[in-house]
Chain A
Amino acid sequence: MKTFTYTIKDELGIHARPAGLLAKTAKALDSEITISKGEKTVGAAKLMALMGLGVKCGDKITVTINGGNEDASERAMREVLEDNL
């Protein structure tokens, strides 16, 4: 298992478009990936749940990666976050 935290820099937070990109990326990976904000945790491949987290600019999220090629999954998730959020 791997985890890392990321602070959202996009002024709109995790809005529809980046949520779509995150979900798409997570879905294509072979690991089980979750994203948590505070107490709430959702599957990273689940678009509506991701949007439902209500992540805003400046919020810290934790990404947890389980199984599969964890290194590659972490890289991919970091990249999509850094490029879009």
Chain B
Amino acid sequence: MTKFTGKGVYGAVAVGKISVFKRQDIQVKRIRIEDTQAEIARFEAAKEKTISQLKDIYDMALKEVGEANAQIFEIHMMMVEDDDYNAAIAEMINGQKVNAEYAVAVIADNFAEMFSSMDDSYMQARATDVRDISNRIIACMSEQKDNNSFSDEKVIICADDLAPSETVSLDKEKVLAFVTAHGSSNSHTAILARNMNIPAIIGVGDEFLSQINDGDMAVADGFSGELIVNPDEELLSEYRQKQLDESEKKALLQKLKGKENVTLDGRRIDIYANIGSVDNIGAVLLNDAGGIGLFRSEFLYLENSDYPTEDMQFMAYRKVLESMPAKKVIIRTLDIGADKQADYFRLDKEENPALGLRAIRLCLSRPEIFRTQLRALYRASVYGRLGIMFPMITSVSELEKVLALCRQVKSELDSENIEYSENIELGIMIETPAAAIISDKLAPMVDFFSVGTNDLTQYTLACDRQNPQVEPFCDTHHEAILRLIEISAANAHKHGIWIGICGELAADTSLTETFLRIGIDELSVSPSFVLRLRDNVRKINLSE
């Protein structure tokens, strides 16, 4: 039994035989040529062939991993046609009278070297892309066949490194996992593996290839990043069980993808996802959420050392909206206070920050910060279906001020001739008892309510969320909380607006039926709970 450790880039387990990936091993020799014109013509022909192969790969990738990930092959095509790259190759053929293969190999090295020497790991990883396209051009000039013929069995592919085009071109029906000696989690191969849901381990180190053979039994653990070659029986059965559990779980979830969130007696509910950063969108899509019910905009502030500019925010909001075409995205405006702040806010220390100058109160006392965020949101609204949600509302007059600021931002944009959507939904969080109790007055002013159960619990039961000593007194199922939700729901529906729940309670499956009976229209939970909740909803019968 031998163990190699690298970095797992996709969490899943594979058990099977190893197949060592053999690259078309092209020996490029330097040959002196006389007819440079003919040599350049050969290069041009190979380039054309390369482009057409890349087009095929692009189409394949488009189907398998989606447009965003397929784009790398469009970039590859542009690299093949890059002026500098082509000029350098032609110059070398003409000037040194060498064969095209040799010229391509040398120039590829030069460009790859340029990327490798950059101080940014993303750009360093682009060296692989240059080598990949260059090898393809060289292969197109020589007549060699692909020597990776697998048996019918699925295998764990082991390689020194895999180029993106090689990853996509492999027959996925035959691949259990990828394990590579090199590569970074930034490499497109890693990204593609994640999108194809194939366990992948990268950066195992040079020595592993010399110690494995085709046909060796192995376990590739994408969670721990371990490749275990020739495992003992005990370990093997342990992993087989793990694999079985995983696949059962996956099958259950796969079964639920694309299905409706509908009870046995036909009551529908929307299940959306809560996220805190643009990076989580992949998980939202993977878990088939119907939209984003809570996008916490705090990360934009907490990750920066100064107030994020309007443009910076605009780009982030736009990215989220564009990633969720035709789906609702509800972005909550800044929700921070003295307990959770960035230094540049310079908030005074407070005795009781939960009851302090936070969330909408902070925004109303520093309207210039709020205005920047609202402008960015309104500008981004043309890229999707945006909802804006205001946290910690307690009174009608607060909400009036907020709505007046929104109107002001709109008229500013109008006078600057900047577009925004007319269909933005404006809503508030119901997270204070005050808001729930006067929800009849708040409902006519907005398009939706979203219940923040964490704060609603804290404020209703007078239980500090940060204090573990009061936890026993903090009954999240307390009747008072459920009654407040019920009041809010009734008032929402009376005024024809929808109501959702985006706090932790939304994911509590013991309450799903209660929420459905109250008439909650939407539940927003973390992405990994979406399908579980859907499973739960589909088993409920409200007519019983």
Contact = CB atoms under 8 A, between A and B. Distances in A.
A29 interface: no
A45 interface: yes
A45 B126 CA distance: 18
Interface stretch (A15-23, A32-40, A70-78): A15-23
B312 A20 contact: no
B120 A54 contact: yes
B123 A54 contact: yes
A15, A19, A20, A45 pick with most chain B CB within 10 angstroms: A20
A61 interface: no
A25 to B, nearest CB: 12
A1 interface: no
B123 A46 contact: no
A15 to B, nearest CB: 6
A12 B82 contact: no
26 contacts: A9-B309, A10-B315, A13-B120, A15-B123, A16-B72, A16-B75, A16-B126, A17-B71, A20-B78, A23-B78, A43-B83, A45-B83, A46-B83, A46-B84, A47-B75, A47-B79, A47-B82, A48-B82, A48-B84, A48-B114, A49-B82, A51-B115, A51-B126, A52-B118, A54-B118, A54-B123
Contact of B75 (A10, A13, A17, A49): A17
A47 B129 CA distance: 13
A9 B529 CA distance: 33
B167 to A, nearest CB: 16
B82 A46 contact: yes
A56 interface: yes
B130 interface: yes
B150 interface: no
A51 B314 CA distance: 24
Contacts of A24: 78
Given A47-B82, A48-B111, A20 B75 contact: yes
Contacts of B74: 20
B238 interface: no
Given A47-B75, A48-B111, A9 B82 contact: no
Interface range for B: 20 to 34
Interface string B84-128: 110000000000000000000000000100110011101100100
B543 to A, nearest CB: 51
A49 B311 contact: no
Contacts of B71: 16-17, 20
Nearest to A52: B114
B143 to A, nearest CB: 29
A75 B85 CA distance: 28
Interface of A: 9-10, 12-13, 15-17, 19-20, 23-24, 43, 45-49, 51-52, 54, 56
A17 B114 CA distance: 18
Interface of B: 71-72, 74-75, 78-79, 82-85, 111, 114-115, 118-120, 122-123, 126, 129-130, 309, 311-312, 315
Contacts of A46: 82-84
Contacts of B82: 46-49
Nearest to A12: B122
The 3 closest A-B pairs by CB, nearest first: A16-B75, A20-B75, A48-B82
Given A45-B83, A48-B82, 9 more contacts: A12-B122, A20-B75, A20-B78, A47-B79, A48-B111, A52-B118, A54-B118, A54-B120, A56-B120
Contact of B315 (A9, A19, A43, A51): A9
Contacts of A23: 78
A57 to B, nearest CB: 9
A47 to B, nearest CB: 5
A26 B22 CA distance: 40
A56 B129 CA distance: 20
A56 B82 CA distance: 22
Contacts of A51: 115, 123, 126
A24 B74 CA distance: 11
Contacts of A13: 120
A16 B115 CA distance: 12
Contacts of A10: 315
A39 B87 CA distance: 23
B83, B114, B115, B118 pick with most chain A CB within 10 angstroms: B83
B123 A49 contact: no
Contacts of A48: 79, 82, 84-85, 111, 114, 130
Contacts of B114: 48, 52
A49 B84 contact: yes
Nearest to B111: A48
A23 B85 CA distance: 14
Nearest to A58: B312
A20 B115 CA distance: 16
B75, B115, B119, B129 pick with most chain A CB within 10 angstroms: B75
A4 B312 CA distance: 20
Nearest to A15: B122
A84 to B, nearest CB: 9
B312 A9 contact: yes
A17 B85 CA distance: 18
A10 B319 CA distance: 10
A80 to B, nearest CB: 14
